[in-house]
């Protein structure tokens, strides 16, 4: 591979990761350079694919773009020269970290679900979606971080689910503006919250909406926090050191959930976020002290 092209691709992936302002970026900072380059390239790929669904308004165009990415992934893992810088940056790491095409294709498949489905009947159905857009992401990340125990895969999938549940909670208002609602229908019914009330972000709802929606969100937050605990309990001791980046992200995301829990209604009208300094501090605590 042309060295200049690889350097340009790595710079693109780095810029993509930093510009996203993601909590993941702060965890990547503590990795050795080769692993940091690999996970940054993979993260850039995930962002590219995810942005198609969020930013391309014509479903047919979005479908065509995802088909292009599917072809590019297959070609890249078959050894052909990739066209997109994210895959150019990722390709050198396929062999060293034992990466496979299938998880990347599942990420594309998960994003494709957003073109056809904007409701989930129950939590089991939502988990299938989360598996594709987050569980397999955790699986690839665990390999790059240095997985040695096969049991770490179960931890990675559970942690991916926890991350995606957190994203869903944080993004309720933003998703509503796109006509999407990931909170399971059965759980909306349980808390007597109507889908149209959430899609209108509470505007025009009766006086009881605030209490009903808050109860629904507190349930979502508690389940997400419990899922982090379940994931961490699955992490084998042999891989705990190598998987510190995932634990850093868990620390940041759990802090975010606790911020949201202070005023759950706020997710309807604003995107709750931690400051960069706080994210760095939480990541550093895990790196230096081993504490979440």
- 103-112 pLDDT, tens per residue? 999 999 999 9
- Confidence band (pLDDT; 50, 70, 90) for 212? very high
pLDDT for residue 116: 87
**DSSP single-letter state for residue 25:** H
Instruction: Give the integer Cα–Cα distance in Å for 126 and 156.
Output: 18
Topology, domain 1-116: Farnesyl Diphosphate Synthase (1.10.600)
> Averaged over 256-260, what is the pLDDT?
97
Task: Please choose, from the candidates 114, 132, 129, 14, the residue with its C-alpha nearest in 3D space to the C-alpha of residue 56.
Answer: 114
Q: What is the pLDDT of residues 220-238, one digit of tens each?
A: 999 999 999 999 999 999 9
Instruction: Give the integer Cα–Cα distance in Å for 259 and 246.
Output: 20
Instruction: Give the integer Cα–Cα distance in Å for 134 and 139.
Output: 9
pLDDT for residue 4: 84
> Averaged over 76-88, what is the pLDDT?
95
pLDDT for residue 291: 64
Per the listing, tokens 């949201």 go with: 260
Q: Where are the domains of the chain?
A: 1-116, 118-291
CA trace torsion 215, 24, 147, 107 (10° rounding): 70
- Confidence band (pLDDT; 50, 70, 90) for 49? very high
pLDDT for residue 278: 93
> Averaged over 119-147, what is the pLDDT?
94
Rg (CA), the chain: 19
CB-based contacts of 36, cutoff 8 Å, min separation 6: 28, 29
Is the CB of residue 114 less than 8 Å from the CB of residue 53?
Answer: yes
- Confidence band (pLDDT; 50, 70, 90) for 292? low
pLDDT for residue 57: 85
Question: Residue 59, Cα to own-chain centre: how many angstroms?
Answer: 22
**41-65: b (≥16 Cβ within 10 Å) or e:** bbbbbbbbbbebbeebeeeeebbeb
Predicted TM-score (pTM) of this structure:
0.93
* Residue 113: other Cβ atoms inside 10 A: 15
Q: What's the length of the chain?
A: 292
Q: Where are the alpha helices (DSSP H) in 78-208?
A: 85-90, 101-116, 123-130, 136-145, 152-170, 172-177, 185-190, 195-199
**pLDDT for residue 21 is more than 70:** no
pLDDT for residue 28: 86
Name the CATH superfamily for 118-291: Farnesyl Diphosphate Synthase (1.10.600.10)
Residue 260 buriedness (CB in 10 A; 0-12 / 13-18 / 19+):
buried
- Please provide the average confidence, as pLDDT, over all residues in the chain: 93
Q: Do domains 1-116 and 118-291 have the same CATH topology?
A: yes
pLDDT for residue 230: 98
Task: Please choose, from the candidates 44, 12, 51, the residue with its C-alpha nearest in 3D space to the C-alpha of residue 28.
Answer: 44
> Averaged over 193-213, what is the pLDDT?
96
* Residue 255: other Cβ atoms inside 10 A: 16
Instruction: Give the integer Cα–Cα distance in Å for 144 and 169.
Output: 28
- Confidence band (pLDDT; 50, 70, 90) for 76? very high
Question: Residue 91, Cα to own-chain centre: how many angstroms?
Answer: 21
**DSSP single-letter state for residue 81:** P
> Averaged over 12-17, what is the pLDDT?
86
pLDDT for residue 20: 59
């Amino acid at each position: 591979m042309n060295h200049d092209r690889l350097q340009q691709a790595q710079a693109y992936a780095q810029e993509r990761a930093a510009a996203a302002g993601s909590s993941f970026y702060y965890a990547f900072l503590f990795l050795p350079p080769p692993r940091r380059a690999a996970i940054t390239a993979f993260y850039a790929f995930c962002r590219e694919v995810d942005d198609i669904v969020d930013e391309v308004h014509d479903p047919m165009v979005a479908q065509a773009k995802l088909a292009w990415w599917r072809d590019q992934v297959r070609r890249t893992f078959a050894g052909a020269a990739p066209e997109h810088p994210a895959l150019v940056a990722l390709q050198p790491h396929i062999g060293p970290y034992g990466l496979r095409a299938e998880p990347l294709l599942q990420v594309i498949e998960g994003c494709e679900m957003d073109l056809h489905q904007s409701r989930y009947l129950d939590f089991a159905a939502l988990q299938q979606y989360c598996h594709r857009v987050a569980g397999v992401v955790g699986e690839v990340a665990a390999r790059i971080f240095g997985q040695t125990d096969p049991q770490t895969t179960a931890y990675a999938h559970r942690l991916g689910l926890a991350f995606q549940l957190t994203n869903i909670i944080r993004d309720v208002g933003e998703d509503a503006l796109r006509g999407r609602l990931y909170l399971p229908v059965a759980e909306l019914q349980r808390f007597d919250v109507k889908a149209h009330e959430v899609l209108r972000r509470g505007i025009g709802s009766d006086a009881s909406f605030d209490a009903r929606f808050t109860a629904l969100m507190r349930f979502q937050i508690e389940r997400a926090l419990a899922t982090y605990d379940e994931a961490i309990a699955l992490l084998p001791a042999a891989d705990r050191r190598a998987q510190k980046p995932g634990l850093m992200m868990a620390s940041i995301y759990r802090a975010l959930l606790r911020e949201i829990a202070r005023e759950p209604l706020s997710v309807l009208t604003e995107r709750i976020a931690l400051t960069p300094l706080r994210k760095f501090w939480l990541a550093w605590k895990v790196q230096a002290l081993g504490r979440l």
